[in-house]
Chain A
Amino acid sequence: GESVGLHLPTLSVQEGDNSIINCAYSNSASDYFIWYKQESGKGPQFIIDIRSNMDKRQGQRVTVLLNKTVKHLSLQIAATQPGDSAVYFCAEKTSGSARQLTFGSGTQLTVLP
C-alpha cells in the first residue's frame, strides 16, 4: 500500500521562554536514554543522555528527567533561542542490546521571535 509520512507533534515557544519536550518510551528493560536534536538536512546531534539509575541530569541549558514508573522522559530547554528550532528525538537502548537505539517519532520545536 501507499506509505504516508507521519505528522510530527509540534511545539511553539517564544524566544527566552523555557521549553519542555516529552517522550513516552516503550520498553521497561531500557537502561539508557538519549536526546538528539536534528536540524533540516543534518544528522541527529547528541544533546544529553541519562542512565536508568538516575532520574535527573543537567547540562548546559538542558535538563533531562526520567520517570521509570510511567516510562516517561522529558527534555527541558532553558531560555529557548532561535537556534534551538529543530526536531527533537528521544532514543532508548534496551539492556543487553549493545548499541541498538530505538527512536521515538520526534517533536518539531519552533522558536518564535
Chain B
Amino acid sequence: DAGVTQSPTHLIKTRGQQVTLRCSPKSGHDTVSWYQQALGQGPQFIFQYYEEEERQRGNFPDRFSGHQFPNYSSELNVNALLLGDSALYLCASSSGLGVSNQPQHFGDGTRLSIL
C-alpha cells in the first residue's frame, strides 16, 4: 500500500523563477494539504485541496497556488521565487473533510533551494 509520494525530492532554482511540485496521496485518501517547513522549524500550513477545490488557506501570498486532479493527486506552484522560499515542502493526505478527526499522513517532501 503506497504512502504519500512527492516529486522531485530535490530542486534548485534561482530567484524569480517558477516551480511546480507534485504529490500523490496515500491510497484511499482524497484530501491533500501542503506545508512549508523551514530549517529547524515545524511545518506551516499553506493550503488544502478537496474535490479539486482549495478549501482552506494559511498565511501565504498569492505566489503560492495549487491544483488537485480528479485522481486526487495535487500540484503546488510557486511563482517569482524568493530566497526565503528555500524550504522543505511537505504534502499530507487524509480522508474526506466530513469524516471525523483522522491523522494526516505525510510524504518525505521536496527540498527546494533558491540561489
Q: Which residues of A pack against B, CB within 8 Å? A: 3, 5-8, 31-32, 34, 36, 41-46, 49, 51, 89, 91, 93, 97-106
Distance (whole angstroms) from the CB of A49 to the closest CB of chain B: 5
Write out the residue numbers on chain A whose beta carbons fall within 8 Å of the beta carbon of B41: 5-6, 105-106
Q: Are A6 and B40 within 8 A (Cβ)?
A: yes
Chain B residues contacting A42 (CB-CB under 8 Å) are 108-109
With known contacts A32-B101, A97-B56, A100-B56, A89–B106 Cβ distance under 8 A: no
CA distance A100 to B47 in the complex (A): 8
The answer for the CA separation of A45 and B108 in the assembled complex, in Å, is: 9
Rounded to whole angstroms, the CA-CA distance of A7 and B44 in the bound complex is 17
Question: In the complex, what residues of A have CB within 8 A of residue B40's CB?
Answer: 5-8
Of the listed stretches B11-19, B31-39, B65-73, name the one at the interface; the rest are far from the partner chain: B31-39
Contacts of A32 in B (CB 8 A): 101
